[in-house]
Structure 1
Amino acid sequence: MFSDADAAALYDVLNPWDPDGRPDDGFYFPFVMGAESVLDVGCGTGAMLRLARERGHRGRLVGLDPDRAALDRARRRSDITWVEGTAAQAPSGAGFVLATMNGHAFQCLITDHDVRSSLAAIHDALRPGGRFLFDTRHPQARAWENWTPANPDDMVEIVDAASRPLRYGHHVDSVVGDVVTLRGTVAQPDGTVLRVLHDDLRFLDVASLGRFLAAAGFDIEAQYGDWNREPITTSSREIITVARRR
C-alpha cells in the first residue's frame, strides 16, 4: 500500500524547502520573513512556513491547502494556523500583508472560474496594498515535453521516509489548449507500481495572467522570467509575478 500519508511524505522528499540552496525558495523566503502576516495558499506540507517560524518569524502565519494528508504533516508545527480549503476559500477580510502561491501551485487552477474565484478570495484576504506573490511555468518553454520516461532527468530514484527505495517519473496523457494532464507514477525499483498521482496543470501566458489579475483588482508590481529577477524574454521558462492589491 502507498497511502495518502505516504504521498504527502514523498512530496517532502522530492521537494525539500531550502532557501539557501534553491533559487526558487530563496526568492520567496525574504518576502515571507519581511511580512508581518502571511497566507500561504496551496501550502502543502507547510515546509515554507515551518522554516520561517524556525528562523524567527514572530508574526501571523496561515497555511491553506485542500490536501488533508499534507496538512496532517504540516500540523506537526502547532504555532502556525493550518486551514483545509481551496484558494477560493481564502479567509475574507483577514488583512494579510502577503499571500504566496509557490511551487507552480497557481497552475492547478484549471478553469476561468477557478482562476477568477481564487484571485477574488486572495484579493479579499489581503489588506489594501498587500502583495500576492506566485509563479507559473511559461508556456513557451513547453516544460511538459520533458515529463516522459524517455527523459532520464525526469525519472528519479529516491529513498522515502519509510526507508523504501522508489522510482518516480511522469507521463503526459494529453495537452488540450493550455491544460496539460499528466500522471506521476511511484514504483518500486523493479517497476512494480505503488501509486499513480494524477494532475491537471494550466499554462497561462503573460497577457492572460495580466487580464485575470487586473479584473480581480491587482496591479502587477513586477514580473520576472527566472529566479534571478531577469526580465521575461522569448526564452524565459518562468513567469514570476509580484502583484499588489489595489
Structure 2
Amino acid sequence: MIFSDADAAALYDLMYPWDPDRYPGDAFYDGLVMAADAVLDVGCGTGSMLHRARERGHTGRLVGLDPDRAALERARRRADVEWVEGVAADAAWDREFDLATMASNAFQCLVGDDELRASLTAIRAALRDGGLFAFETRHPQARAWEDWTPQNATEVVDAAGRTLRVAHRVESVAGDVVTFTETTSGPDGAVLRVDRTRLRFLDESGLRAFLTGAGFAIEAQYGDWHRGPVTAASRVVVTLARRL
C-alpha cells in the first residue's frame, strides 16, 4: 500500500478536525480570528482554521504560513486565503497583521534557542503596533509525552476506507526537548510511514523570558481554554502577547 505525503495531510484532518462548535480550544482561536482584520496563522498546516474563518464570513486578510508542502496543497483548496510556504524565522512581513497565531501546539516545534528567537522576531515584525500574538503549549508539568506509547495508538478510517493505526513512541527526553516517532500502519500491520518529531516544553516563566526578550508584553497566560489561571493541575499554557 502506498501512503503519500498527501495521504498524511488528509489523515491529519481526519484525526484532528477543526470545529469551534465542539472544541473549546478551536473556539478560543475562532473568536480572536473573527475579531481581527488581518490574521497570520504561523504553522497553519492544512489550513482548517482559516478555512473555517472564511466559511463564517471573515472578510479581511487571512494568511497561512507552513513549511509542509503537502499540507499547503491541501490548504490551497480555498483560493481566497493567502498560503505561503516557509518557516516563521524567514518571514519578512512588516507591520501587516493585527493578529498572529500558532495553534495546535505549533509553537513547540520551535526547539532551538536561535530558531525560537528568530521566529519571535519575525512574528513581532509582522504585527502592527499593539498587535496580538496568541498560541498554546503543553505544560511540562503534565508530562504529556508519558502517554505517547504504542499502547495508546489511535485507529482511524481514511477517505479510501482503509483502517489505519497511528502510534507514538518516545525516543528521548533531554531537558525540555522530547523526541518521538509517529508510526502509521495499514490494516495488515505493515508500516506505511514513520515520522520523527522534536518538541520543546517550556513553562510560563520560560515562555515569558523569550517573549519579553523579543519585544512582546505578556497580556495573559491561561491554564485552560476558558481563561482560567495556570494551576498545578494545568495541562496547557495559553499565551497572549502584545507587540510593544
Give the TM-score category using the shorter length. Answer: over 0.9
1:202 — aligned with what?
Answer: 200
After the TM superposition, which parts of structure 1 deviate over 4 Å for at least 4 consecutive aligned residues? Answer: none
Read off the aligned partner of 1:84 and give its amino acid letter.
Answer: E
Report deviation, 1:94.
Answer: 4.2
Q: Distance in 1 between matches of 2:114 and 2:61?
A: 29
Identical pairs, percent: 64
- Give 3-state SS (helix, strand or coil) of 2:150's partner: coil
| Structure-to-structure mapping, 1:1-246, within 5 angstroms | 1-150=2-151, 154-246=152-244
Output the amino acid matched with 2:218: I
Query: Any stretches of 5+ residues in structure 2 without a counterpart?
Result: none
Separation in structure 1 between the aligned mates of residue 145 and residue 169 of structure 2, nearest angstrom: 9
CA distance in 2, matches of 1:36, 1:30: 12
CA distance in 2 between counterparts of 1:105 and 1:236 reads: 18
Asked if the contact 2:90–2:119 (Cα under 8 Å) also holds between the matched residues in 1, the reply is yes
* Letter aligned with residue 41 of structure 2: D
- 3-state SS of the aligned residue for 1:27? helix
For normalisation by structure 2, the TM-score amounts to 0.98
Shift, 1:157, TM fit: 1.0
The CA distance in 2 between the partners of 1:133 and 1:20, in whole Å, is 20
- Give the Cα–Cα distance (whole angstroms) in 1 for the partners of residues 76 and 159 of structure 2: 17
Cα distance, 1:165 vs structure 2: 1.0
Q: Secondary structure at the match of 1:44?
A: coil
Query: What is the identity, as a one-letter code, of the residue corresponding to 1:50?
Result: H
Q: Give the count of matched residue pairs.
A: 243
TM-score by length of 1: 0.97
SS of 1:124 mapped into structure 2? helix
Report if the CA contact (8 A) 2:45-2:75 is conserved: yes
Instruction: Supply the distance in 2 between the matched residues of 1:180 and 1:161 (Cα, whole angstroms).
Output: 31
Quote how far apart the aligned CAs of 1:149 are: 1.7
Q: Which runs of 5+ in 1 are unaligned?
A: none
Distance of 1:89 and 1:162 partners within structure 2:
37
- What's the Cα RMSD here? 0.9
**Larger mean Cα displacement after TM superposition, 189-198 or 72-81:** 189-198
Partner SS state of residue 149, structure 2: coil
Distance 1:75 1:190 in 2: 33
For the residues of structure 1 that align with 2:100 and 2:75, how far apart are their CA atoms?
Answer: 18
Offset of residue 67 of structure 1:
0.3
Q: Distance in 2 between matches of 1:212 and 1:232?
A: 18
